[in-house]
Each structure stands twice: as C-alpha cells, then as structure tokens.
Structure 1
Amino acid sequence: MRKLVVVATLALLSAASSLMAQDTAGQAAPAHKPRIAVMDFDYATVRTSTSALFGTDVDVGNGIARLLEENLVKDGRYTLIDRKMIDKVMAEQNFSNSDRADPMTAAKIGKLLSVDAILVGSITEFGNETKKTNIGGGMWKWGGNGGGGFGKSNTKAHVGITAKLVNIDTGEIIAVEDGSGASQRGGLSMGGNGNSWWHGGGGGNIDMGASDFQETIIGEATKAAVTDLSTKLDPDSGKIGVRTVVVEGIIAGISGSQIVLNIGTRAGIKVGDQFNVLRVTSEIKDPTTGQVIRRLTNTVGVIKATDVDEVSAVCTPVSGTDFKTGDRIKTVVQ
C-alpha cells in the first residue's frame, strides 16, 4: 500500500512539474516579434517651454523616441528598425517634421520600411512645477524655472508623453498609451543643483540616455515617463498582426562560402532570415506574344542571411551546394 502511495505521489509531482513547464513556456516571448518603427515625437505643444529651458530650440521629440527605442529593445516584445533607415526614408519622401505625428503619413513610411506597425507620439508636458514659499502663505506656479521675489523656490520636473501604434495598411490606430513621470527630487533649477548642464548651443538633438542628462531632475522625469510608456506598450505587441512578406531576389555574387544577394533591408530582409535558392530549368513563353509566362525551377538549397544593408545581403549555406550567380531566391519571412 505504501508503495502505491509513493508511486501516486511521484506521478502527481511529475504532472505538476509538466504543468509548470508548460506555463513557463507560455510566458516566453513570441517566436515572431512584430517589427515596428518609432517616429520622432512631436513636441510643438512644449516647444516654447523647452526652448526656454535649454536656451535654444532642441528637438526633444527625437530624444524621447531614441530613449523609448532603447526601452522597447530591452523589454523584448518588439523588433525595432534602425533609425538611420527612418531618417533616410523621411528625407527621400520629403516628409517634414510636422508630419511626424500624423497616422496616415506614418502608414506610408511604414510601408516603405516594410514594418508591421509604426509608432507615432507627442510630448504633452515637459517642464516643471515650482512651489514658491513666501511669508504669509504659498503660491503654485507652472512653467519656467522659478525665479525672483522674496522667498525660496523648489522645483520638481514633470514629463508627459502619448503614443499611438498605427496599422500601416489602413492607417488605423491599433493602440493608444500615455506615459508620465515626475522627478523624485526637487531643486532650485531643472538641473537639480542650479548648475548649467546643457551645452548644446545652436539647437539640434539631445542624448537623453546620457548620464549627465539623466542625473538632472528633468532627466529623471523623462526617464520615468518613457519607462511608464514602454511598460504600457509591451502588452500591445499582441494586437499587431505580423505581416507575411514575400521576398524575391537574385544571387549577385559568390565568394567562398559567402553568397551575396541583390536585395537587403528595403525588401524586408533581416539577419537570420532563410531563403530557398531556385534555379530556372526552363522558361515557358506565350506563343503569340513571346513573353515569358512561367519559369520552371528546381530547388538548389537553403541559405541564411548573416549580414544585411539597405540594398544587399550576405548569406551562408544551410543546405545544398553548387550555388551560382543568377540563381533566384524566394522565401516567406516574418
């Protein structure tokens, strides 16, 4: 009897372990993460206050976007496209910064980038709340860095941002999330200790991931707002349908084990994608027009992308041999 009890107990423990393993596996990141592009955030609403803060016009929308990209990559729910590609497409298509928060413009850019969705956003608050203590009572003031008068000012920084995930086929907004952050510390200036920390003069972008910025109270609030937003965006990855992209190209050259294709990231290729290599055995032509209506092929093997730029990809063999320049490649990549 005791033996039966032991066997039954072991069976229950085994079943429990199996269920726990299944549950852990269920929490794993999806095999195919949605591929998105993050546009620079629109900062028109806070442009006046940021210019006063930095002493010049600084593109805080670009800084927010870069910081958000870093967070989303670390969270592991999305695949992020390289920012240089976004800037290049924006320039080629003559899109202005004023278009950065427009869902329809974003959808057009998303199609050119071959992403599953595109994220647009805006900065709704970027400044400070100043509490000035005077004899006989207190006074709250929103805006600048405090200043003048009799008494002592204590500043806390606040940042608010909002983001939209956009379907690139329809321009439909898939999800909307807000992020907000406030500094845990206060000080006499947005720099925390009254010291000058911004030396950008002449405008441009700002590295919000830099330690000297994040050590300021406005940097502390910015980091908190972006963290809040990225945490809220993580579950939204499940709302994005991963697009099926059919990729076709030609082997442009071979050097040893390196096989170079005539297509790259513009066609939707990324490192790790695999391709069937096809060799044309015959072409069927329309007897009346002479146009090729069908190419018959044999599969030579499979290759895998190891290095990719905009217009080409370097691959190595996975299976098969005797690959030749001119062989066609075709696959379905996620």
Structure 2
Amino acid sequence: MLVTVLVKNGKYRVIERQEISKIMEEQNLGQSGRVTEQSAAKIGKLLGVELAVFGAVTEFGYSKSKTGGRIKGVAVGVSKQKATVAVDVRIVNTTTGEILAADNVRKEETTSGLSFSSRLTRFNDRKSFDNSLVGKATRNAVNEIFSLVEKQMEVLPWSGKIILVKGSVIYIKPGSEGGVKTGDVFAVYSKGEELIDPDTGLSLGVEEQKVGTIKVTSLITGGKAAKAMLISGTGVKKGDIIKVQ
C-alpha cells in the first residue's frame, strides 16, 4: 500500500526490493539480506535515493466480543469488532545513515451492532480487504507513514546532479518531476573527499567546492531531466551536485 501511495503521489521514485537485494548481493552489503542504517547509506549512493523507509508489522488482526441477554423472553446479542494494525517505522537519510524519524504507528477501527459476519479475515479480493475493518486500519497506518515521509522530505535539502556535459549544453536531473522549471538557477558543487565518522564508520557527507552556476534553459519531455547553460565558473563536469542558491 505504501509503495502505491508514494508512486501515485508523483513526487517520488520508489526502488523495488528486488533491485535493492541485487545491489546488496553485488556489493556484499550483508549476508542476512536485511537493509541496515549502515548499508542504507551505501545503497543510497548507488541508487541515487535520499530516504530509506524501514517498516516492521508488529500487530495485525482483529478481536470480537459479544454480550447478550434476554428481554421479555427474547434473546438479544450485541457484538463488537476491533481491528488493529501497528507498524514500527524508521526513516533513514541514505547520505549519512542518520535515523531522521522513528515511530510506532498504531491504528484501530471498531464497529458494533446486532449481527456480524463470522468470515472476518477471509478476503476474496483487494476491494473486500479495503472495505474491511482490518483494511481500513491498514490504510490509516499507511497514510500516517506517508505523512512522516512527506514531513522529512520537506526539510531535506534539495539537490540534483549533472548527468552530461556536451559542449555548451549541460544536462541535469531531476527535471520537472523534481520541481525544476525553466529559468531556475542552481549552484554547482564538485565533490571532494568523503567524510567518515571514525566512531561509527558512517558517511557524514563529502567535501564540496563551488565550481559554477547554471541556468535551466529547457525541460526534457518525461520530466526526468532538463537542459541548462553555464553562466559562471569553470570545470563543471558529469557527477557534480547542483543545489538551490
């Protein structure tokens, strides 16, 4: 569900688990196959992603209680059904390996009435699951996790990258998908030595030196890239980082 929400939002590029597993295997980043804060930083550089979302379902199910009695000789029963979904979630900055947010998202949905179906956890299709109490609780949990991701993205400094320099034309990513517009001006930074925390072994970023300024001249169809021109500086090259001035 979370992947669907992120993709439909249109602002995020979501990496499939199969692609992450392939990178981990190729780079020997862990025999267990699990992504950790340490390996997330390395994977982030290889895949070009900014955030990693870790989740573990800690509670998933429902409970049903029933009370009843007799009124003037007539049996009356009232049932109450409760669905609970809980997820431990962590959001990690893949540049540094820092945990930006950690929370236990727990959602409940309840209903009560005189009669209920006993087939509470059998779903014939996606629609029947979505309409169930468990489905609604799951959706609410996913929406809250999405809000956590959105909040972290709002404070994460925007950056892009030069993907090709061809004569006087500079190609950058992202394009319109990343909010880039014709006329935007960006500072260009060349990456230097990586800064490693001696205590944790995690990356703290890299040395950066400003080498120029570029201006976006046109957007490339598809929204993933744009063309720009150099307006100051020299030595701009493929792989350099661009940032908002």
TM-score range, shorter chain: 0.5 to 0.7
Unaligned runs of 5+ in 2: 70-76, 187-212, 232-236
Distance in 2 (alpha carbons) for counterparts of 1:168 and 1:129 = 39
CA-to-aligned-CA distance 1:47-75 (integer Å, 9 cap, x gap): xxxxxxxxxxxxxxxx4x3255268x38x
Is the Cα contact below 8 Å between 1:155 and 1:190 reproduced in 2? no
CA RMSD in angstroms comes to 4.5
- What amino acid is the match of 1:242? P
State the secondary structure of the residue aligned to 2:100: strand
CA-to-aligned-CA distance 1:237-284 (integer Å, 9 cap, x gap): 45x5426454242449xxxxxx996xx8xxxx22235799xxxxxxxx
Which of the residues 88, 100, 104 maps onto 1:174?
100
CA-to-aligned-CA distance 1:28-61 (integer Å, 9 cap, x gap): xxxxxxxxxxxxxxxxxxxxxxxxxxxxxxxxxx
Distance in 2 (alpha carbons) for counterparts of 1:97 and 1:69 = 29
Deviation, 1:121, is: 1.5
Give the number of equivalent residue pairs: 193
Give the helix-richer structure, 1 or 2.
1
Equivalent residue number for residue 190 of structure 1: 120
Deviation, 1:127, is: 0.9
Equivalent residue number for residue 271 of structure 1: 175
Deviation, 1:300, is: 11
Equivalent residue number for residue 134 of structure 2: 218
Higher Rg of the two aligned structures: 1
Is the Cα contact below 8 Å between 1:275 and 1:304 reproduced in 2? no
Distance in 2 (alpha carbons) for counterparts of 1:173 and 1:314 = 30
Distance in 2 (alpha carbons) for counterparts of 1:302 and 1:197 = 51
1:66 matched to 2:8: no
Which of the residues 138, 162, 186 maps onto 2:88?
162
**Normalising by structure 2, what TM-score?**
0.56
State the secondary structure of the residue aligned to 2:138: helix
1:117 matched to 2:41: no
Distance in 2 (alpha carbons) for counterparts of 1:331 and 1:173 = 23
Distance in 1 (alpha carbons) for counterparts of 2:134 and 2:31 = 24
Deviation, 1:318, is: 8.1
Distance in 2 (alpha carbons) for counterparts of 1:248 and 1:93 = 24
Is the Cα contact below 8 Å between 2:92 and 2:101 reproduced in 1? yes
CA-to-aligned-CA distance 1:70-113 (integer Å, 9 cap, x gap): 68x38xxxx422345x6424324337996455222322222222
State the secondary structure of the residue aligned to 1:183: strand
Give the strand-richer structure, 1 or 2.
2
Distance in 2 (alpha carbons) for counterparts of 1:300 and 1:224 = 43
State the secondary structure of the residue aligned to 1:185: strand
Distance in 1 (alpha carbons) for counterparts of 2:95 and 2:158 = 10
Equivalent residue number for residue 12 of structure 2: 80
Equivalent residue number for residue 249 of structure 1: 164
Distance in 2 (alpha carbons) for counterparts of 1:211 and 1:318 = 50
- What amino acid is the match of 1:120? F
**Normalising by structure 1, what TM-score?**
0.44
- What amino acid is the match of 1:107? A
1:90 matched to 2:21: yes
The percent of aligned pairs where both chains have the same amino acid is 20
Is the Cα contact below 8 Å between 2:170 and 2:229 reproduced in 1? no
